[in-house]
Amino acid sequence: MFYMLQLSSITDRMLRSCDFNIDVFLTEIDENLAASRAIFRNFDATFNIMSEEQWEEIQLKVVYYLVSGSRLSLKVIFISYIRQ
């Protein structure tokens, strides 16, 4: 009987130490999910996603610079892409 009471006491203390408001916790998860979804929803509008054709054009410019012996400046290529 002694051990049963001790185990019960320990179990009760453990449960009380883990006691927290589950509703607040779930609300915080919902708010974080909503914020994350809003970020991903606006991602395409915020960043200019390049098309396959634009990527091929950049690759061709790099090859041209390499073949022509010019000093390759990725910054110049990137800036020329942004200005389009």
Structure tokens at 81: 């892409």
Cα separation, 60 vs 11, whole angstroms: 69
The residue to which tokens 């892409």 are assigned: 81
**pTM higher than 0.85 for the full model?**
no
Residue 4 has a pLDDT of 84
Contact 77, 62 (CB under 8 A): yes
* pLDDT score recorded for residue 12: 84
Query: pLDDT tens for residues 5-34?
Result: 888 888 888 877 776 777 888 899 999 999
Amino acid at 41: R
| Predicted pLDDT of residue 29 | 92
Q: In this structure, what token pair is assigned to residue 34?
A: 């909503």
Per-residue pLDDT, 64: 78
